[in-house]
Amino acid sequence: MEKMDIYTFGQYLSTIKVDNIYETQHFRERMKVRFGEDFIKEVYTKIFDCTPVGILEQFTGKFKVLYRYNEDYDLTIIIGIKKVNPIEFSLVTCFKEASRKRVRADGQDQN
């Protein structure tokens, strides 16, 4: 994985194109088990059409990207940087996570 900071990752993410995305075997398997094969459309809709509510660096070149899914859950997508020039992203895994982990007790986003 390529090294990149969160700011630079966010800039690249805002210009992402389908040609820049690689789905890992793990991603495809987990997607099928957790959500069914058709859920991939939802994942791509979030990536292309929605602004993340949070980005955390997991490891060098891997980022946890949170998108609002509904009132109770966020859709979390782990995205790796496969290559920088030209940019290539790898979808590592995807899961729903309770949004209360991101929202303060008073109901306000922590972001």
Residue ranges per domain, the chain?
A: 6-101
Three-state secondary-structure class, residue 91: strand
Token pair listed for 107: 């109901």
Give me the residue label for tokens 């209360």: 100
Compute the C-alpha angle 24/97/103, nearest 5°: 135
Tens of pLDDT along 58-92?
Answer: 988 899 999 999 989 999 999 999 888 889 999 99
Tens of pLDDT along 32-60?
Answer: 999 998 899 999 999 999 999 999 999 88
Distance CA 13, CA 8 (A): 9
Contacts 24+ apart (CB under 8 A), 11-15: 12/81, 12/87, 12/89, 13/47, 13/52, 13/55, 13/65, 13/79, 13/89
Q: Which CATH class is domain 6-101?
A: alpha beta
Q: What is the pTM of this model?
A: 0.86
